[in-house]
Structure 1
Amino acid sequence: MRRFEDEDLTGAEFRECDLSGARLVGVVMRNAEIDGLVTHLVVNGVEVMPYVEAELDRRHPVRLLIRSDEPADLRQAWRQLREGWATTTKRVRSMPENSEHHSVDGEWSMVETLRHLVFVHDSWFRRCVLGLTEPFTAMGLGPPLVMDRENELEPSARPSLDEVLAVRDRQASGIETWLAEVTPDQLTQTAPVPDDDRWPPYAKGRTVRQCLGTVLDEEWAHHGFCERDLDKLSRQEPASGS
């Protein structure tokens, strides 16, 4: 276990780190941000995550639909997620040219985020929910480990926003068609994950509902990240134009 004592970590950034079981004792933490999979976070003796989750549900009611096991709720969740992305797309088109390709604080740009969701669809819906073994979409963007092992993916791809949106529209149509017919019983069945070593390797044994849930969760989370970064870009615009 690494121990930091009397260290000045002002401005430190921890990216893709596992901080499970970490203890921060006697610390000073002002203007800090935490984004990630956080459970059982105790601050000054208070478990805060139930409050955080409740507030997120209040701000984003679609989260309640995403967690539902009812096909009608899942269809509504998908419609709302798509509407959110449509609004964000309209927003970025009104911003300075190439805003969709700008990265903020080392995060993915909007186009890169959408490319990641193309990959999520291929991985968790097409492969895990449908059980198909078709190659990944070349423009898809996954974690570095995946980009190195999946030969169909092209790390150097530089698609335009419209090119990515065209792929996303085709994928969305497939999900909409499937959701229109899926039954509660089908959602509880074990996902027909292909028996190979392709991504995602840890999906075997999950239900169809769990795999679909990953798609919906990723859509919601990355839309929030994208909106956050566009907000930051918008605040930078006056300074860059002066």
Structure 2
Amino acid sequence: MARFEDQDLSDAEFRESDLSRARFVGVVMQDAVIDGLVTNLVVNGVEVTSYVEAELDRRHPVRVLVRSSSPSDLRAAASQLQGAWAATVSRLRALPAGSEHERVGGEWSAVETMRHLVFVHDSWFRRCCLGSTSLFTALGLATDFVPDQVEQGLDPAAAPGLDEVVAVREVQAVELSDWLAGVTDAELASPAPVPEGPGWPPYARGRTVLQCLQVVLKEEWAHHGFCVRDLDLLGPEAGLR
């Protein structure tokens, strides 16, 4: 067990780190930012996760729709998320050239973020909800811990522009909307038809179609928030530094 005592961790960054069951005792934490999967977080004796989740739902009502098992709610969630992304793409097109490829604080650029969602659609929707055995879209972008990326169809040398990525995303959005238009409660509750053999995600087998679909929608919401956050930080000078 790692133990930090009388250490100055000011401006430290923990990325892709597991801090489960970590204890912060007698610490000074001012102007800190915590972004990730946070549950059962106790601050000065108060469990605060429920407050945070309630506030996020208030600010972003689409989260409630995403957690629903109702086909109509899920259709509404997908439509709202697609609309939010369309507005953000329009915002990107109005920024100085190159803004769509600019990174903020080491995070993915807007184009990289959308490329990741191409991969999420291919893996969690096409593979897990539809049972597709097709290779993933080459320009999709996976996180580093995803194994065998080339074998699954991803091109590590891909460097697509905004228009190319948006075109793929639009095709995927139509595919998802068309499927949601006819999906039933029974189909959502059924086991995910994940093909046998290797492929991402390896832990989807045993989940329901609904659970896999919700991964897609949650990723859409979360990464849209990341993208908007970074565009706000870039501000009017985006693409010029």
TM-score, normalised to structure 2's length? 0.97
Q: Distance in 2 between matches of 1:123 and 1:149?
A: 12
Residue matched to 1:206: 207
Q: Distance in 2 between matches of 1:188 and 1:128?
A: 13
Kept after mapping to 2: 8 A contact 1:141/1:147: no
Question: Quick one: which amino acid aligns to residue 131 of structure 1?
Answer: G
| Partner deviation per Cα, 1:84-118 (whole Å, 9 max, x = no partner) | 00110111111111100000000000000000000
The CA deviation at 1:124 is: 0.3
Matched ranges for 1:179-194 at <5 A: 179-194=180-195
Task: Give the SS at the match of 1:178.
Answer: helix
Q: Which has the higher helix share?
A: 1
Residue matched to 1:57: 57
Question: Quick one: which amino acid aligns to residue 33 of structure 1?
Answer: V
Kept after mapping to 1: 8 A contact 2:41/2:48: yes
Q: Does 1:216 align with 2:217?
A: yes
RMSD value, Cα: 1.4
Matched ranges for 1:1-242 at <5 A: 1-146=1-146, 148-151=148-151, 152-234=153-235, 237=237
Question: How much identity, in percent, do the aligned residues show?
Answer: 64
Q: How many residues align?
A: 240
In 2 relative to 1, CA 147–139 (structure 1 residues): closer, same or farther, beyond 3 Å?
Answer: farther
Kept after mapping to 2: 8 A contact 1:191/1:207: yes
- Which runs of no fewer than 5 residues in structure 1 stay unpaired? none
Runs of 4+ in structure 1 off by over 4 angstroms are none
Q: Distance in 2 between matches of 1:211 and 1:101?
A: 29
The CA deviation at 1:155 is: 1.6
Higher RCO by CA contacts (8 Å cutoff, separation 6 or greater)? 2
- Which runs of no fewer than 5 residues in structure 2 stay unpaired? none
Kept after mapping to 2: 8 A contact 1:81/1:219: yes
